Structure 1
Amino acid sequence: MALTGMLLNGASFHGGCRRHKVLLSLLGPFLSNSKLYSSYRRPGAEPEKKLSWQNADFSFKKGFDHLKTQLSLLKKETQDYLMGPGGHPLSQHLLEQTRVLWQFRSQEDLNGWVISSDVEIGGKSKVYLKLGRNNQAALLYGTLNTEVPRDGETKYSGYCSMRSRPAVGSFNRKKYYDWSNFNTLYLRVRGDGRPWMVNIYTDPYFSHQKDDLYSYFMFTRGGPYWEEIKIPFSKFFLSSRGRVQDSQHPVWLDKTFGFTIGDKVDGPFQLEIDFIGLLKDRAHREEFAYEIYDKNTPV
């Protein structure tokens, strides 16, 4: 504790504000006080005379526990990598015909998903997610409202969505799914007759592509019976901010998955999801269903 205080005090004493911030970022896991990372001060409030590190509560136990957890995750990832693709032997990977990605049997399964609606832009739609009857499915339900917020800017409203959380590896590294061995999305759902949009979200490197989205339609028939839906990945088309793009490209099968409803019909909706999986259909040989062409053909 004394050594850490001397390091922080020395960094700020020599005028190294940048060094101070770098050192605080390195010691982040050992700190349990978030005031170190915020320089906000209310207008009219007197500046604090103490240095920022003097208000911190150093928790070495918390830091070491966090490090121990991340190292155990790294060990498991290394073992899975040495065993084969996806942590399975190579022979099993080559012969695999189906794979269940998500199934909903507990609250922990629901915690891997995020719901949102047009409330974020001032709308009035409502969406909820809970376990279904006998904890055998996920129930996504709510009310769709297409009333446009009166802010003078928004022109359209009325949507609700559900999407999976991004996969995270050890030390908060991004992980990507490997669906290259499959060509069809396989779902078992029970809806109320409304059409839905099945989305595969991209995670591009450039910021101007952050709204890119691969989508395809899912039509539910309603009624008391479950239905099994198969959607080839070749059918997914590229859109950005709700507009279908002229230049289409095959989907990259390593991103976040989700559902969206926005059929412009006010009223309640519900969708039960038993599981979401993958299928390798050897009879389906189509690589991409849409025409790929150059917008500016060279002369």
Structure 2
Amino acid sequence: MSRFKELWRASITATKKALTWKAEDLIPPSEKFIFHFNSKEELKRWHLYSDSEYGGLSSASLEIKNAGKGLSGIFSGNLSLDVAENSKWNINRSGFCGMRSKKFDGYIDLDAYDTLALKIKGDGRSYISTIYTENWVNSPGQQEDNSWQAFVFVPKDNWYIAKIPLDRYLPTWRGNVIDVELEMNPSRVVGMSLSVNAEGGIPGAKSGPGDFKVEIDWIKALRTQ
């Protein structure tokens, strides 16, 4: 068969396939799982961090436990405002812990979605949800990923699905909101994190040093519009 006939047949086949496509084939599903804390393998996708890396005394752990009707992740620990006496770091603040996903193999595309949802159960504290996107600028002075943060309140003792519109995430630099004209690129998400601070947060939420605990079932992207 000549090369021309091969191309012609391939074109006809592709055209027939296109004509039989259904609308739902062209529209992404209304939700997309990003993380599901239903196995110990899931923990390998995350790492912990805290002020202890800089002389603080906070601590955190991440485990998979049976939640009665299945497995879920438990992010817990203790927030301390104290600093080790022999610390070589001159830190301005302590009292924070977080769990951050390891970088995705490439990136995930959330451009078709407008909301991040977390099924969680906690302690009445407010936590910080962070989305990391590929750095558009890649300037010599900033090689880090762009980070976008939003507060999420975690009610005490009951499962709750927190839904955070992506346009509520604010650009941040090392935990501080920055005043810049910058839009998130949801098509190039490279990682996520969930963290907690002893101070600050949503008014009315539990705050201060002491124990914290949040249970996580899953994290999804939703299309609500």
Normalized against structure 2, the TM-score is what?
0.77
* Separation in 2, partners of 1:244, 1:101: 25
SS at match of 2:152: strand
- 2:153 is matched with 219
* Separation in 2, partners of 1:186, 1:93: 23
* Separation in 2, partners of 1:107, 1:200: 23
Matched, 1:162 2:96: no
* Separation in 2, partners of 1:222, 1:207: 44
Tell me the amino acid that sits aligned with residue 200 of structure 1.
I
Judging by fraction of residues, say which structure has more helix: 1
Tell me the amino acid that sits aligned with residue 230 of structure 1.
K
Of the three residues 124, 147, 160, the one matched with 2:57 is 124
Matched, 1:115 2:45: no
Query: Is contact 1:123-1:157 (8 Å) kept?
Result: yes
Query: Is contact 1:106-1:131 (8 Å) kept?
Result: yes
Of the three residues 95, 114, 122, the one matched with 1:183 is 114
1:92-129 Cα deviation digits (max 9, x unpaired): 45141111111011111111111111111111111001
Query: Is contact 1:237-1:248 (8 Å) kept?
Result: no
Query: Is contact 2:59-2:78 (8 Å) kept?
Result: yes
Matched, 1:259 2:194: yes
What do you get for the CA RMSD once the two structures are aligned? Answer: 2.0
**Structure 2 unaligned runs (5+)?**
1-21, 200-207
Shift of 1:245: 1.1
* Separation in 2, partners of 1:214, 1:243: 10
Cα 1:95–1:121 shift into 2, 3 Å: closer
Tell me the amino acid that sits aligned with residue 229 of structure 1.
A
1:142-189 Cα deviation digits (max 9, x unpaired): 111111344472121111010111122xxxxxx111101100001110
- Rg larger in structure: 1
**Structure 1 unaligned runs (5+)?**
1-88, 169-174, 283-299
* Separation in 2, partners of 1:186, 1:90: 25
Query: Is contact 2:33-2:218 (8 Å) kept?
Result: yes
1:48-104 Cα deviation digits (max 9, x unpaired): xxxxxxxxxxxxxxxxxxxxxxxxxxxxxxxxxxxxxxxxx9944514111111101
Matched positions, count: 187
Cα 1:214–1:123 shift into 2, 3 Å: same
- 1:100 is matched with 33
Bigger relative contact order, structure 1 or 2 (CA pairs below 8 A, ≥6 apart)? 2
